[in-house]
A = this chain, B = another copy of it.
Amino acid sequence: MALVRLIEYPQASPEVRSVYDDIMKTRGVDWINNFWKALANDPKELARIWANVKRVMAPGALDPLVKEMIYVAVSATNGCEYCTHSHTAAARKKGMSDAMLMELLAVVGLANETNRLANGLRVEVDPQFK
């Protein structure tokens, strides 16, 4: 159970509904996931986070599927259950196959391994990399 109540659409203020409407329109879905319903306890915070997600995840120098997979990589590294589920679902919607997910996680696992080898051995950065 979340630490704050979830604000459902019918009970939401016009300010919150307006963000909910934009989320559904932007994503082409007809429901709001719990993350936003929890954030809606602070309508300004809800609007702030949604504006950031919309801006950062928009197409740019990287394509949206790559961005979504990077989101999954970070969420798996941090062990965030909610985010791993929601962003894996989002990445699949954008075209990630099971084979791509398995390969993505293989890289995540390896990076977490060698990060600790480098940190544990306190390897100094080669001047060539700087």
**Residues of A with Cβ closer than 8 Å to B?**
1-4, 31, 33-35, 38-39, 41-42, 45, 48-49, 52-53, 55-57, 60-62, 66-67, 69-89, 97-126, 128-130
Least Cβ distance of A77 to chain B in Å?
A: 5
A8 to B43, CA, bound (A): 37
**Distance from A35 Cβ to chain B, minimum over Cβ atoms (Å):** 5
Q: Are B105 and A117 in contact (CB under 8 A)?
A: yes
Oligomer: number of copies: 6
Least CB distance from A87 to B in Å reads 8
Question: What B residues does A31 contact at CB under 8 A?
Answer: 128
A121 & B4 in contact (Cβ 8 Å cutoff): yes
User: In the complex, which residues of chain B have a beta carbon less than 8 angstroms from the beta carbon of A121?
Assistant: 2-4, 35, 38-39, 105
